Amino acid sequence: MRRQIVAANWKMNGSSELVRELVPAIRESAVALDNAVEVVIMPPSLFLGGVKSELSGSGLSLGIQNIARWQEGAYTGEVSAGMAADVGCDYALVGHSERRQLFGETDEVIAEKVARILESGLKVMLCVGETLEEREAGNAEAVVCRQADVALKGVAAADARRIVIAYEPVWAIGTGKTATADDAQAMHRALRTRLSALGFAADEMSLLYGGSVKPDNAGALFAQPDIDGGLIGGASLKANDFIAICQAAKA
């Protein structure tokens, strides 16, 4: 059975004060989820230790927002997947559209990162998604499937249980725009079909939606048969909003 997952991507936001205030509030409210939803907190790397401490004994998961293509070496400023595992992370996020657009990360670079994550024993949260131009040109499905194809090339079928994919239409991230529940479902269905064609147990893999998810649209999105939760950006920085989204995933 697929796991319902809601992940909080804080992006480059946060402070020690936010860690002390937000994480305990989420932890306290997560008790009511009865383990029906896996909650993942992904703060900036500097706050991983503080969040890990606040999550201790809670059953909530910890994730890092980005890792290096390499496991060690002379790469000043980089953080490896092995390091993330060493400090207690459960997940590593890769392929986010901001990394692709702002930092020039290609599908091939992302594939290298996926390999490093799996080597380190962490779980992969892989982002895929199309731009507005690609959607309007009728290429949305082809773009998303290509990104998955390249990122997962060479990954053993047995590792599918450690891979979560988040579909994030680039045009809906931080813009207030959201794909309709039907549009999101159609892409998730296409993606699941593609994963099956690649030899993975696709029906056992969790697929998330990310793109301006809020309390008022989460229910409709998560009710779709191929959407197993969400990757949440801005709303994850507000305890009440994020908790409401987690509760929608349980419903």
Task: State the catalytic residues.
Answer: 96, 168
Instruction: Find out whether 209 and 167 touch, Cβ atoms under 8 Å.
Output: yes
Instruction: Find out whether 235 and 216 touch, Cβ atoms under 8 Å.
Output: no
Count of CB atoms situated within 10 Å of the CB of 120: 18
Which residues lie below 8 Å from residue 55, measured CB to CB, with a gap of 6+? 23, 27, 41, 61, 62
Instruction: Find out whether 206 and 3 touch, Cβ atoms under 8 Å.
Output: yes
Which residues lie below 8 Å from residue 111, measured CB to CB, with a gap of 6+? 150, 151, 152, 153, 154
Cα angle, residue 47 at apex, residues 249 and 175 outer, rounded to 5°:
50
| Residue whose C-alpha is closest to residue 213's, from 169, 251, 165 | 169
DSSP character at residue 3 = P
Q: Strand locations in 17-156, DSSP E?
A: 37-42, 61-64, 91-94, 123-128
